[in-house]
Amino acid sequence: MNAPHILALDQGTTSTRAILFDRAGRALHTAQQELTQHYPADGRVEHDAGEIARSAVKVCNEALAFAQQKSLTVAAAGITNQRETTVVWDKKTGAPIANAIVWQDRRTADVCDALRKRGLESEITARTGLLADPYFSATKIAWLLDHVSGARKRAAAGELLFGTTDCYLIWHLGGGKVHATDATNASRTSLFNIHTQQWDDALLEMFQVPRAMLPEVKNCADDYGSAALLPGAPAVCGVAGDQQAAAFGQACFTPGMVKSTYGTGCFALMNTGAAAVPSTRRLLTTVACRLGGAVTYALEGSVFNAGTAVQWLRDNLHLIKSAAASEAAARAADGDSGVVFVPAFTGLGAPHWDARARGGIFGLTRATTAGDIVRAALEAVCHQTRDLLSAMDDYGAPQSLRVDGGMAANNWLMQRLADIANLKVERPAVIETTALGAALLAGLHCGVYPDTEAITANHRVEKVFTPKMKESTRAALLQQWTDAVGRVRS
């Protein structure tokens, strides 16, 4: 019972969770608190960073209380987070100067259009592996500095700090002693040169972001100080953005391995090893992990709306009572309804990168049922994943796909994914691999795991889904999807 355990803080888009893992990667206790979503205008998505901090303390306290009750030793803590979401706060008080701008937010689309028109996107891509898109943090930082009274002057004077939510939580939980992030989160800002592994002066000038605001960039398994606000002040020594943490939790350590995570959005990441492979299909070249200064790169495709489509059907249209009910609804629906749902609520991500696209449901008739629409929403997840995998041909076609996230529990969806992607789909025994990845990184740094080989040995596959669909059926579905995407493009 006194073997080392690890606390993982998973700060996501819709909730904050703390999970206590044992050395075998089993989740012993989970505490969760939902977050309020703020939508002040079309295409705008915000969070209250203060609420994020309070929720983190609350769920961690609950998980640590469980550990104390069971006399479990907590060796360390790891943090994983919604990437790109931007927080700017007062260096002395810790108070955010405004709501955090969430990764889904599209308010800076015009700024990104202007960068492309000036011919700067190629330079951004060469240095960061990213595109000129509102998704990333740099234009969000600049927007806050330009729209919050006095913010730009205060930032230039060194009075304000920037961070993604991991960075803000490290600073907050540590009592303001550590202002740091990891290389994966830094690589999503559009300010970090993924080749030199440094903040880039040319990018700071391009986006008009003062260097004084930026955190120190550390390895994913590293010393991030102690969480002094938590019982026992556990050492924080593992940090990674949610998608990179999921890839680590899936033990995708070999070049060519691919994982896809299904939560608020859908994100497919392919390990490309020590090579930063440029994409010709508008995927992102990003940092998968940095351990001991050695960088592993990845190709990544990002879909902005996956779980949000099911959430919308539940909360806005009331077609289902719970997200879990979507599986039964899809099974009962007519497979030949012809209904296609493109959930571009906040634009289209890879490989389209159309910030002004909006969602649409096509093929409706008087015979269309609620189940047909639910089924189409789940199929949209499969089609979007296939689009991402097809765009990874710059490195090579994947042999299988490791899946995780809440939606991966849906057996109908996973079988449909295997059918539409025409690929073997592997679901792990631990489906919450994002939090697990943060725990494993922390465990690696504090000696719970000697190396990544030990982590690979712990990985277990719970179920494998293999393609069963006829090629003619797949081709027809793909044509319907392609036509529908063309209709929602701006």
According to DSSP, the β-strands at 424-428 and 180-182 are unpaired
pLDDT at 282: 86
73, β-bridge pairs: 4
Q: Which among 418, 426, 402 has a CA at the least distance from the CA of 243? A: 402
pLDDT at 394: 73
pLDDT at 354: 86
Instruction: Give CA–CA dist 398/401, Å, rounded.
Output: 7
Mean pLDDT for the chain? 93
**Percentage of the chain modeled with pLDDT above 90:** 82
Instruction: Give CA–CA dist 174/168, Å, rounded.
Output: 10
The whole-number average pLDDT for the span 376-390 is: 93
Residue 490 has pLDDT above 80, yes or no: no
pLDDT at 1: 47
24 token code pair: 């075998």
The whole-number average pLDDT for the span 205-216 is: 96
The whole-number average pLDDT for the span 97-107 is: 94
Residues 45-79: pLDDT tens digits? 999 999 999 999 999 999 999 999 999 999 999 99
271 token code pair: 């390990």
Residues 333-353: pLDDT tens digits? 877 889 999 999 888 888 888
Residue 42 has pLDDT above 90, yes or no: no
Residues 9-18: pLDDT tens digits? 999 998 999 9
Global pTM value: 0.88
Residue 297: is it exposed, middle or buried by C-beta count within 10 angstroms (0-12/13-18/19+)?
buried
The whole-number average pLDDT for the span 228-243 is: 94
pLDDT at 2: 62
Helices (H), 70-136: 109-117, 121-128
